[in-house]
């Protein structure tokens, strides 16, 4: 039976869970990855038992129903892409299989996704739940980045189908830059960026709160999320974008209309700078997080440079964007431009260094070297200072020898020069001996 029925595909993310059947072009359901449970106001072991009793009695809701339950406590089992509460996650999986997919798990193979830095313990817990609780006949756990590369084959811009590329996976709770070579993730080169869709929502909420006073406090986060999803985009230049809004604001400022959940009245706000300042934290993360100041373009370049040299070219050639936070308008164009600037700046520095090495190889350039004989003659002239009768205590001169090509004067050469002049380096010559030396000379 399982071989004839299509496999079930479940992608559990921090903010949303996508699920459907294999072979379809898009997911059948996209639901929030949250669960609403009855939780007592008391604290301690009794409250914990009541909370778990509510889960055991199936007195809970998931998805959009969980968001709309003000009398219930809303929990998010997944944080930063990693499952933290396995009891709630098992109940969540039960609901999406039986209520949404309406499938018998014994009759379908299942494909689940995992983040690139998932631990083996979490993978074992997932397999234990699927095999023991749901009795599935087969299970495959795939890395989200590899699936994103495979999904890019359907794009018209993809010339050849390959599983080598750099995946930028930015969801609601976590952003990863993952290099993949022939379907295998280069785990040692993965970089984590502490900026994702939820951070953009919080930053937009902060901007709206400082400027707009008509937003109900209990709906500020919901309003910021709606503004982000409807109006936000990535601008090519911040200064020009500010100037554009200042000169002709009526053309670019949008209006958002919401309904107050308490009074049931409409409220309207103007959305201006928030449209482009929200996604800008990917390229100027110091706006929202002063502890992290590296733009996403530099992170991508650093990840590829840490990879083996034989796969760097295909990694630069195939950069795939995945996740809801990469769907802002002109995000890919801005990333491509900034990444090109970062690479060109590094290549320019490399060209200057390699040019110096090539210039030294030319025969005409050898005439510019200072020969050892000329240097020793010059050193004999300045070694004695008649004004204060001092011998220079240390000589630390870097020169290049045409014949030997040595970079540092050898100690033997200095000793030989000292014997020739009858001097002891590093010591002060008394006044009398200096005068005697002058008379004898």
Q: Residue 384 falls within a domain, yes or no? A: yes
The count of domains in the chain is 3
Residue 277: predicted pLDDT: 93
The DSSP secondary structure of 315-379, one letter per residue, reads: HHH-EEEESGGG-SBTHHHHHHHHHHHHHHHHHHHHHHHHHHHHHHHSSGGGGGSPPHHHHHHHH
β-strands 8-12, 110-114: how paired? parallel
Kindly state whether residues 289 and 400 are assigned to the same domain.
no
**211 and 329: one domain?**
yes
Q: Mean pLDDT over all residues of the chain?
A: 80
Same domain for 403 and 345: no
Looking at the predicted structure, is the pLDDT value of residue 250 above 70?
yes
CATH number at residue 56: 3.30.420.40
Does 354 or 138 have the greater pLDDT score? 138
Say if residue 382 is in the same domain as residue 337: no
pLDDT at position 41 is 44
- Provide, rounded to the nearest whole percent, the portion of the chain with pLDDT above 70: 73
pLDDT digits (tens, 9 = 90+) for 289-346: 888 889 999 999 999 999 999 999 999 999 999 988 999 999 999 999 999 999 998 8
Range of the domain at 407: 370-440
Average pLDDT for 85-100: 92
Are residue 342 and residue 388 in the same domain, yes or no? no
Q: How far apart are CA 254 and CA 143, in angstroms?
A: 39
CB-side exposure of 44: number of CA atoms within 13 Å? 2
Q: How confident is the model at residue 111 (pLDDT cuts 50, 70, 90)?
A: very high
- Is 389 inside a domain boundary? yes
pLDDT for the residue numbered 335:
95
- Using CA atoms, how far residue 154 sits from 161, 332, 335, in Å, is 9, 17, 22
**Same domain (yes/no): 436, 333:** no
- d(Cα 243, Cα 291) in Å, to the nearest integer? 29
**Whole-angstrom distance, CA of residue 164 vs CA of residue 317:** 9
CB 7 within 8 A of CB 103: no
14-69 pLDDT tens trace: 889 999 999 888 899 999 999 998 765 444 555 555 555 555 566 788 888 888 77
For residue 189, what pLDDT band results from cuts at 50, 70 and 90? very high
Query: What is d(CA 135, CA 400) in angstroms, rounded to the nearest whole number?
Result: 76
Domain annotation covers residue 151: no
In a domain, residue 419? The reply is: yes
343 and 212 housed in the same domain: yes
Whole-model pTM?
Answer: 0.71
Identify the band that residue 12 occupies on the pLDDT scale cut at 50, 70 and 90.
Answer: very high
Rounded CA Rg of the chain: 34
Flag whether pLDDT at 431 surpasses 50. no
CATH number (domain holding residue 253) = 3.90.640.10
Final residue before a domain boundary, out of 331, 357, 383 = 357
pLDDT of residue 203 exceeding 60, the answer is: yes
| Average pLDDT of the segment spanning 169-188 | 91
- What are the structure tokens assigned to 19, written together? 């699920």
For residue 292, tell me if it sits in a domain: yes
Which has more confidence, 387 or 237?
Answer: 237
Residues 97 and 129 placed together within one structural domain of the fold: yes
- 243 membership: H or E segment, kind and range: helix 238-247
pLDDT surpassing 90 at residue 219: no
Mean pLDDT of 115-136: 92
Domain C-terminal end among 121, 137, 153: 137
Q: The tokens of 14 are what? A: 């921090």
Q: Which stretch of 88-97, 140-149, 182-191, 380-389 has the lowest confidence by average pLDDT?
A: 380-389
What's the confidence (pLDDT) of residue 21? 94
Mean pLDDT, to the nearest integer, of 228-235? 94
Cβ atoms of residues 343 and 247 within 8 Å = no
Whole-number pLDDT of residue 40: 57
* Per-residue model confidence (pLDDT) at position 235: 94
Q: Based on the domain organization, do 18 and 83 belong to the same domain?
A: yes
- My answer on whether 115 and 84 are in the same domain is yes
pLDDT(167) > 80 = yes
pLDDT tens sequence across 375-420: 666 656 555 555 444 444 434 333 444 344 444 444 544 555 455 4
- Residues 6 or more apart whose CB falls under 8 angstroms from that of 405 comprise none
Cβ–Cβ under 8 Å, residues 203 and 226: no
Residue 269: is its pLDDT beyond 60?
yes
- Give whole-number Cα distances, 182 to 55, 142, 149, in Å: 43, 14, 10
What is the structure's pLDDT at 435? 45
> Is 90 exceeded by the pLDDT of residue 154?
no
Q: Provide DSSP, 10-55.
A: EEE-SSEEEEEETT-SS-SEEEES-EEE---S--SHHHHHHHHHHH
Residue with tokens 């006949």: 137
Residue where one domain finishes, among candidates 101, 119, 137: 137
The two tokens of residue 29 are: 């359901």
Residues 203 and 343 in one domain: yes
Whether 18 is in a domain gets the answer yes
Average pLDDT over residues 415-433: 48
- One domain, residues 205 and 326: yes
User: Of 169, 122, 174, 170, which is closest to residue 145 (Cα–Cα)?
Assistant: 169
What string of DSSP letters covers 113-164? EE-TT--HHHHHHHHHIIIIIS--S-EEEEEHHHHHHHHGGGSTT--S--S-
């Amino acid at each position: 039976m399982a071989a004839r029925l299509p496999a079930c595909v479940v992608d559990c993310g921090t903010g949303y869970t996508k699920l459907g059947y294999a072979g379809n072009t898009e997911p059948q359901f996209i639901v929030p990855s949250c669960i609403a449970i009855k939780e007592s106001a008391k604290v301690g072991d009794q409250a914990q038992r009541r909370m778990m009793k509510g889960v055991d009695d199936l007195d809970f809701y998931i998805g959009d129903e969980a968001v709309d339950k003000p009398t219930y406590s809303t929990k998010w089992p997944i944080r930063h892409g990693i499952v933290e509460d396995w009891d709630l996650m098992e109940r969540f999986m039960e609901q999406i299989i039986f209520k949404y997919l309406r499938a018998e798990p014994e009759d379908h193979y299942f494909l689940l996704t995992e983040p690139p830095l998932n631990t083996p313990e979490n993978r074992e817990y997932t397999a234990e739940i699927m095999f023991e609780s749901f009795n599935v006949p087969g299970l495959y756990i795939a890395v989200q980045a590899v699936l994103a590369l495979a999904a890019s084959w359907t794009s018209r811009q993809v010339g050849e189908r390959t599983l080598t590329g750099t995946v930028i996976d930015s969801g609601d709770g976590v952003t990863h830059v993952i290099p993949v070579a022939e379907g295998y993730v280069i785990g040692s080169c993965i970089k984590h960026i502490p900026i994702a869709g939820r951070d953009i929502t919080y930053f937009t909420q902060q901007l709206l709160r400082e400027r707009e006073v008509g937003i109900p406090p209990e709906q500020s986060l919901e309003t910021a999320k709606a503004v982000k999803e409807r109006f936000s985009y990535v601008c090519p230049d911040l200064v020009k974008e500010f100037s554009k809004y200042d000169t002709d604001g009526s053309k670019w400022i949008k209006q958002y209309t919401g309904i107050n959940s308490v009074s049931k009245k409409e409220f309207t706000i103007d959305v201006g700078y928030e449209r482009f300042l929200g996604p800008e934290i990917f390229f100027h993360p110091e706006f929202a997080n002063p502890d992290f100041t590296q733009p996403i373009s530099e992170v991508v370049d650093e990840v590829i440079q840490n990879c083996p040299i034989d796969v760097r070219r295909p990694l630069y050639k195939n950069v795939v964007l995945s996740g809801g936070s990469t769907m802002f308008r002109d995000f890919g164009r801005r990333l491509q431009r900034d990444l090109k600037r970062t690479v060109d700046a590094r290549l320019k520095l490399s060209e200057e260094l390699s040019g110096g090495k090539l210039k030294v190889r030319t025969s005409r350039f050898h005439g510019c070297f200072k020969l050892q004989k000329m240097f020793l003659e010059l050193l004999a002239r300045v070694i004695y200072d008649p004004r204060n009768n001092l011998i220079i205590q240390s000589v630390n001169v870097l020169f290049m020898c045409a014949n030997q090509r040595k970079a540092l004067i050898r100690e033997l050469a200095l000793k030989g020069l000292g014997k020739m002049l009858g001097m002891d380096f590093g010591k002060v010559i008394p006044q009398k001996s200096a005068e005697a030396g002058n008379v004898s000379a």
